[in-house]
Chain A
Amino acid sequence: MAEDNSRNKGAGAVPKIKGRQSQVCANPLYPCAMAGAASALAGISDMGVIIHGSSGCYYYADMAVPDTLHSTFIVQDEVIFGSADRLKEIVESVSKLYNRIAVINTCVPSVMGEDIKEILADYDTLCIDAPGFIGYFDEGWRLAVRELAQYSAVNDFAKDGKEATRADGDSVYRVNIDGVCSLDPFYKGNLNEAKRLLNICGLKTAAVFCHDTYESITHPSPYSVSVNPDYNCTDVVNRHIYGDDRKSESACSLLGLENVLNTFEELSDNLSETDVDISGIESECEETDEILTKEGDRYLRRYDPPRVAVYSTYSYTEFACRMLTEYLDAEIVHASARNNPPDQSSDVNENPYNIGGICSLHQIKEILSETEHDLIIGSSFEHAAFPDSAFAGLTFPIRHRMLYDRPVAGIQGSLYLMDKILDALENGAKNSN
């Protein structure tokens, strides 16, 4: 495996909030905190999100985040004379379109020293101070979720996770879907797959973090499944609702067949086995495992185990490494995450793929240009840097066409990823898009 000292050994994680490297940083690979806060909040369909900043900040966020955003489009005048009037003018007009408003502060307004909460005291707004200099995307996402948690409360059904919905008086458990991040190119496919899996077990979807209505998100179920643990929200939200005496469970991962099985077994244990039938999930996982094993074996009858470099957000990187080693005996020549692991307290020994923390294309180019590899899994940045290598897209940005919603999570997600990997490996760079 290529040498990557980007994570301090012993901590098992990137200890730096921003991940600044001692080496020069060129072509940073991930957006700033402002975009993270915008992604989390704009997924709430009845909440108007205003970027308090310049057109440049807005245009980027608007390109990266698929949901609607608004902006104050501040100019030099407001920096000199204050932005209060402009901010109120925009909040006033956007308030006519939404029930709730969120304002996200960018770099310059953040250092101007204006108290935007005070300026907007007459309006019902969430204010998030997420300037780009505090860190990358995940920092802003977490700040937004923490703010959102302040407004969360116990729902009618939340005490036992049940809701009387059936005409015959039976009750159906409702479960949150967590980790739905709109920057993730697979977020819609993941959401569809998670709903499908819940449905197989006779469960209903409660809140979807963060792609739901304000009412639903602030009144979640105590139980959750996660399509991407990097962007889990329920721990923060439920800690606010239940305090230290928590009745809720952490959102368990749906990345990979083993996790799918474990997650639904745990749900079944926590809920009532008689009401939650996971036999459908068990049989589908078993069938899928056979398919994946067979396809891996078929590939290995003709080719050597592939040498693969993996670059994505942490949980996706780990999942891809696990799939590659389990079904293709792959050698992970280099693996690095854009962000910190979701559980930063985990020991370094729990990082068997030695996933580093690099957020600069320059460094990836330096490492990978000296490392033989058969496949790169990453974003369009890595693909652009190594256009002749076989490539499979797994993280933002993926610039090539994605017309239908593909999952990475769940059973279908495992099939999709294996399909994509084998296609890229067998057809090489020519068909890797």
Chain B
Amino acid sequence: MNSKNSHKNISRLEGCTVIGALTVTSFVTDAATIVHGPAGCAHQSASMIQSAMLYNECYDIPEIFTSDMSEEEIIFGGEERLKETIRETVADGRYRAVFVIGTCISDTIGDDIEIVCKNASAEYNIPVIPIDASGFLGGSFEKGFISAIRGVTELIPPRSTEAEAHGTHAEPEPKTVNIIAEKNLEYEVDSNFAEIKRLLSLLGAEINTRIARRTTVAEIARFNNAALNIIRDDPTGEISEHFRSISEIPTINRFPAGLSGTIEFLKNAGRLMNLDETTIENAVNAELKNQNDMLAKFADLKGKKISFDYFGFQKADSALLDEIAERAGLRIDVDGPMITVPFYTPVGTAGVKQMLIQWRRFINGRR
């Protein structure tokens, strides 16, 4: 399916599914990802990811394989070359799973990636999972990202199978949480995760697994142990819908945003994990105190004017920003210094703190 059907549609500019898919699959540390296309496609994608990761000060660049299709495969078909690449990739036994991402050219010439993967799974006795990507024919960066999340969940064994294997009941462990669909190229990805972990610790909860950020195949297989799923962001609802279709674990479909949003998140998470009201109330009180302590560090901003510049693609909503300004004692006024709204909504109380540091720089004329 392609949503980019209008010539005037700006979604023409949304980028390549392959890179979107790679930002998920290449973060399963003991799985190999093969880009089925010309080597240039894999280089281009790997290079973009490397560039973004180095900007984020991450130096452990994932290994991305390619079937290195040449003119010969374009003419006679690339399935044999893909089979050979899978065989070479699994030969040394390093990998517990393989993801195969199609490109626009392999899709155009009609290579049947699904059947190659199915046969390879049987032959090598490890999961070989096709990712529905196909470059621009598959949609956009976001479509590739969502397809890869779906692909990664194929590594989750059905709950009954898992229970049989371990001889246990398939009951989830209370106070354990899955973190889903983190944006691995986001600059704040690790600090956002740290904030979620901190908030959950107020409820006495721990992380079960992350799908997927430097996660192993075995860790993904533990998915069904959790009592709650938390998705980074799901504007289209597709990710939530997918997880509802594969498990009964309750889901929160976005990381907490803003001050009251963070408090609501704590209450929601506690209730969905069936925690008692006292535990939830204690967590909320602790966080309210943390927020007040944080805001006290910005007392110098009280009474100062600000205004917001929404130009661009920013997703933050104005009510959230208005609330932060009000709690910090700021006055929203068109005469105030224009503050650029961040592209992504800051996560939790820690995110608000980092944003207020930026606001202070604007207000004090340093930006």
Contacts and interface: CB of A to CB of B under 8 A. Distances in A.
A330 interface: no
Given A56-B15, A132-B40, A397 B46 contact: no
B127 interface: no
B18 A27 contact: no
Interface stretch (A7-15, A28-36, A198-206, A347-355): A28-36
A28 B13 contact: no
Interface stretch (A68-76, A97-105, A231-239, A415-423): A68-76
Contact of B108 (A79, A135, A359, A361): A79
A142 to B, nearest CB: 15
Interface in A1-41: 18, 20, 23-35
B66 A32 contact: no
Contact of B13 (A18, A73, A134, A359): A73
A60 B65 contact: no
B46 A399 contact: no
Contacts, number: 165
Q: SS class of chain B's interface: helix, strand, loop or mixed?
A: helix
Interface stretch (B67-75, B167-175, B261-269, B349-357): B67-75
Interface string B213-256: 00000000000000000000000000000000000000000000
A54 B104 contact: yes
A55 interface: yes
B40 A27 contact: no
A322 interface: no
Contacts of A381: 50, 61
Contacts of A384: 50, 54, 59-61
A33 B19 CA distance: 19
A191 B362 CA distance: 40
Contact of B42 (A20, A28, A74): A28
A431 B12 CA distance: 42
A385 interface: yes
B294 interface: no
B89 interface: yes
B54 to A, nearest CB: 5
A209 interface: no
A375 B203 CA distance: 50
Nearest to B81: A20
Contact of A26 (B5, B47, B63, B104): B63
Interface residues of A, number: 51
A304 interface: no
Interface string B76-103: 0000000001001101000000000001
A133 B104 CA distance: 12
Contacts of B41: 32, 107, 132
Contacts of B91: 24
A18 B105 contact: no
Interface string B4-17: 11010100111111
A340 to B, nearest CB: 15
Interface in B23-62: 37-48, 50-51, 54, 59-61
A110 B48 CA distance: 24
Given A57-B16, A131-B38, 14 more contacts: A25-B68, A54-B16, A56-B18, A59-B15, A60-B48, A75-B5, A75-B9, A75-B136, A76-B5, A77-B7, A133-B70, A133-B105, A381-B61, A399-B51
18 contacts: A27-B46, A28-B39, A28-B46, A31-B44, A32-B43, A56-B16, A56-B18, A56-B135, A59-B48, A76-B136, A79-B108, A79-B137, A107-B38, A107-B41, A107-B108, A108-B105, A112-B108, A381-B50
